[in-house]
């Protein structure tokens, strides 16, 4: 399941992020790749433990934890500190799968990667190529979103970033451990939550239909959550 979350950052916030990032020193992206991924990874990233990456990452976490669609889709338990990468002309990240466990040296946080997230920080018309392609049961899905928009997708999926042929693709990427480990259960809970929001908008929060659907939702959470 791929879920696009619009306007995580405003255009003004994206411009602020980019101004700081464009003036920073970048390093080889292979530093955070596993042994297999490093073979097909050719990009740059902000130093993961650097002050800038940490400050911008904290702002992203503040934004997404206040975003109802993100909370509904991810049901997050832990969010890995966001990282930042840049793909210039010729840069790419071939077909790979994300590491199942990620550890953060600064905080000691260690998570199971249930979901991967990419927050786009470049407008699609400013670069050619660079599509995020995720293999799904329905075929390969290509994603190239406006700056400030984010996509969530299963971390267990094979995926790639196509070679950039013009301009630069800049983004933030990170992982989420969900309270709902089972992806099928998480998808059903997400669909139910979206339906509840629709019923609430039409009938009101105190309508018996809303109350009964909420009863089912919370008991599904209770049955599947790991806290």
Q: Are residues 49 and 138 in the same domain?
A: yes
Q: Could you list the residues known to form a binding site for 2-oxoglutarate, using ranges.
A: 169
> What's the CATH number where 136 sits?
2.60.120.620
In tens, the pLDDT along 65-98 reads 999 999 999 999 999 999 999 999 999 999 999 9
Q: Could you list the residues known to form a binding site, using ranges.
A: 96, 98, 159, 169
DSSP codes of every residue in the chain: --EEE--SS-HHHHHHHHHHHHTS--EEGGGG--HHHHHHEE-EE--TTSHHHHHHHHHHHHHHTT-HHHHHHH-EEEEPPPEEEEE-TT-EEEEE---SEEE-TTT--EEE--EEEEEE-S-GGGEEE--EEEEETTEEEEE-PPTT-EEEEETTS-EEEPPEEEE-EEEEEEEEEESB--HHHHHHHHHHHHHHHHHHHHH-TTSHHHHHHHHHHHHHHHHHB--
Q: Could you list the residues known to form a binding site for Fe cation, using ranges.
A: 96, 98, 159
Q: Are residues 66 and 8 in the same domain?
A: yes
In tens, the pLDDT along 3-49 reads 999 999 999 999 999 999 999 999 998 877 777 777 888 899 999 99
Domain containing 194 equals 183-224
């Amino acid at each position: 399941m791929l879920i696009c979350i619009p306007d995580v950052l405003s255009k003004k916030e994206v411009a602020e992020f980019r101004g700081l990032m464009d003036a920073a020193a970048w390093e080889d992206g292979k530093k955070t790749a596993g042994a297999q991924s490093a073979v097909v990874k050719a990009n740059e990233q902000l130093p993961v433990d650097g002050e800038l990456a940490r400050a911008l990452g904290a702002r992203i976490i503040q934004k997404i934890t206040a975003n109802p669609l993100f909370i509904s889709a991810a049901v997050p338990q832990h969010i890995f500190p966001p990282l930042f990468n840049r793909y210039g002309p010729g840069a790419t990240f071939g077909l790979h799968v994300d590491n199942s466990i990620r550890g953060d040296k600064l905080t000691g946080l260690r998570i199971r990667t249930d979901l991967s997230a990419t927050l786009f920080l470049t407008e699609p018309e400013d670069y050619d190529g660079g599509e995020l392609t995720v293999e799904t049961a329905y075929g390969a899905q290509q994603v190239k979103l406006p700056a400030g928009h984010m996509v969530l997708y299963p971390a267990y999926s094979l995926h790639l970033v196509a070679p950039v042929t013009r301009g630069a693709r800049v983004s933030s990427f990170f992982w989420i451990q969900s309270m709902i480990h089972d992806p099928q259960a998480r998808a059903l809970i997400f669909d139910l939550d979206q339906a509840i929001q629709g019923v609430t908008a039409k009938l009101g929060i105190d309508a018996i239909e809303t109350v009964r659907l909420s009863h089912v939702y919370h008991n599904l959470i209770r049955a599947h959550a790991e806290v």
